[in-house]
């Protein structure tokens, strides 16, 4: 699982054809591989322009042997919008997507300072049509989160993220009990 988290922070992955014997594990309760061998999500795998894959299988320790999870990370050279559209089309019926085209700009618009300015603008003599301040310079983060229909077992999920012009990362997970 740490490898999947490292991927979400921009870490490198091996190519998708790197299957072979189980890789040496660092210990603990997580198995990882640079391929799909630990993918138990049952979710569709994005197929285009894939440059890296990692899968992880986590199991409980000691008395928690019934707690398990599987996660997969896929890196693609496809555009963010192309990957999102592919999942909209290929996930089972009833899944919902929530997409933010620039997460950093949204966070700036929802800051306490900006909310206070918006609330006080109605009570002041200022220009109510004035545009909110531009977001500060920083990374542009695109994010799309897919959630299954309510009541779906095992809490599956898909997240697609892109920071600036870096490759698109697709993260899938499922909890198994």
Which of 82, 22, 95 has the alpha carbon at shortest distance from 47? 82
Q: Are 74 and 49 in contact, with CB atoms under 8 Å apart?
A: no
Q: Please tell me whether the overall predicted TM-score, pTM, comes out greater than 0.75 for this model.
A: no
Long-range pairs of 104-111 with CB within 8 A, sequence gap ≥ 24: 104/135, 104/138, 104/139, 104/140, 104/141, 105/135, 105/140, 108/133, 108/135, 108/136, 109/135
pLDDT tens per residue across all 177 residues of the chain: 344 444 444 444 444 445 556 665 555 688 999 999 999 999 999 999 999 999 999 887 665 666 789 999 999 999 999 999 999 999 999 999 999 876 666 555 555 665 566 566 554 445 555 555 555 566 788 999 999 999 999 999 999 999 999 999 999 999 987
């Amino acid at each position: 699982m740490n490898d999947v988290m490292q991927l979400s922070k921009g870490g490198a992955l091996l190519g998708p054809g790197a299957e072979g014997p189980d890789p040496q594990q660092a210990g603990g309760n997580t198995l990882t591989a640079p391929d799909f061998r630990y993918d138990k999500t049952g979710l569709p795998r994005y197929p285009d322009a894939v440059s890296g894959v990692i899968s992880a299988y986590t199991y409980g320790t000691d008395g928690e042997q019934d707690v398990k999870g599987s996660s997969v990370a896929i890196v693609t050279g496809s555009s963010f919008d192309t990957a999102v559209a592919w999942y909209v089309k290929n996930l089972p019926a009833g899944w919902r997507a929530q997409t933010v085209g620039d997460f950093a700009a949204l966070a700036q618009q929802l800051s306490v300072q900006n909310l206070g300015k918006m609330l006080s603008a109605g009570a002041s003599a200022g220009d109510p049509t004035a545009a909110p301040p531009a977001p500060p310079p920083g990374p542009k983060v695109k994010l799309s989160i897919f959630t299954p229909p309510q009541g779906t077992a095992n809490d599956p999920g898909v997240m697609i993220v892109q920071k600036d012009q870096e490759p698109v990362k697709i993260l899938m997970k499922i909890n198994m009990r």
